[in-house]
Amino acid sequence: MTHCTKTVQATTWFSRLKGLLATSREEWLDKELAISPCRTIHTIAMNYPLDIAFYDRNSIVLTVHRSIKPNRVIRGPRATYGAIERVAQDRAWYQVGETCKGEYL
């Protein structure tokens, strides 16, 4: 199940490091960012909170974090392969055990 209209993949070193930093909340309201490989997400210098889901190599969601405030560091469990992040919102989000597959841009 995808929870946003579009999923953008961050696969280069720089795009994984940057994540949603220096973006506007409005431009990401209907998109999520899939970052792989990735075991840690930071919200340092972010202007808005994030929803984060960490997944394994089989795209199974391992942990979910909602409304992570700016200036935090969140680490996924040992089996983490990647993460999906989006602007924090009240809409449906991934659940532990769910397969995460988005409509990639």
- CATH number for position 59: 2.60.120.1140
Give the model's pLDDT for residue 8.
Answer: 84
| Whether residue 5 has pLDDT greater than 80 | no
Task: Classify residue 96: in a domain, yes or no.
Answer: no
Least Cα distance to 38 among 21, 13, 61 occurs for 13
Least Cα distance to 34 among 58, 59, 68 occurs for 59
Q: What is the count of structural domains for the chain? A: 1
Q: What is the pLDDT of residues 22-33, one digit of tens each?
A: 777 888 888 898
Domain membership of residue 69 as a residue range: 6-87
The percentage of the chain sitting over the pLDDT mark of 90, rounded to a whole number, equals 52
Task: Classify residue 103: in a domain, yes or no.
Answer: no
pTM of the model: 0.88
Task: State the chain's mean pLDDT as an integer.
Answer: 87
